[in-house]
């Protein structure tokens, strides 16, 4: 599974990418909405992990853009705030789920399973499988 991690904290992005590799995922990383948009426009991405608060940008606003794309991908929001309101707003705006930072490898594993189930229900193959079929 190919996952785009969008967060403006370089250490969190680096650790998350390592953890995703441990879970047999292919991570792509971005620290801004512009970088994330470029990756989404040029790469096959299965899901996005998106920070709620990016430096000077709103993860929620970008989420609104992501869910209206022609081929939307599941989005899991990151938040440093453990408030139920943030998770509820993320889901209301179209996110699959919301992870509270810091999160564990098991938390990521659970999210990968949810994304996999969501994509299977929608009849979507992981990006790597689609490429292999060409």
Strands 2-6 and 26-30: parallel
Cβ contact 51:60 at 8 Å: no
**Is residue 62 within a helix (H) or strand (E), and if so which, with residue range?**
helix 59-67
Number of domains in the chain: 1
Could you tell me the residue range of the domain that residue 89 belongs to? 2-132
Q: What is the pLDDT of residues 26-36, one digit of tens each?
A: 999 999 999 99
How far, in Å, CA of 65 to CA of 11, rounded? 26
Q: What is the CATH number of the domain that holds 89?
A: 3.40.50.2300
How far, in Å, CA of 89 to CA of 27, rounded? 26
Q: What is the pLDDT of residues 74-84, one digit of tens each?
A: 999 998 876 78
How far, in Å, CA of 34 to CA of 96, rounded? 22
Residue 87 in tokens: 């998770």
pTM of the predicted model as reported, rounded to 2 decimal places: 0.89
């Amino acid at each position: 599974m190919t996952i785009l991690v969008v967060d403006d904290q370089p250490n969190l992005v680096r650790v998350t990418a390592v953890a995703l590799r441990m879970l047999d995922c292919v991570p792509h990383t971005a620290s801004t909405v512009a970088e994330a948009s470029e990756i989404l426009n040029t790469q096959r991405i299965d899901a996005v992990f998106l920070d709620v608060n990016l430096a000077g940008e709103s993860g929620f606003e970008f989420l609104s853009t992501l869910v209206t794309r022609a081929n939307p991908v599941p989005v899991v929001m990151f938040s440093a705030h453990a408030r139920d309101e943030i998770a509820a707003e993320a889901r209301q705006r179209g996110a699959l789920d919301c992870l509270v930072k810091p999160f564990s490898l098991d938390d990521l594993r659970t999210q990968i399973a949810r994304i996999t189930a969501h994509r299977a229900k929608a009849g979507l193959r992981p990006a790597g499988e689609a490429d292999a079929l060409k």
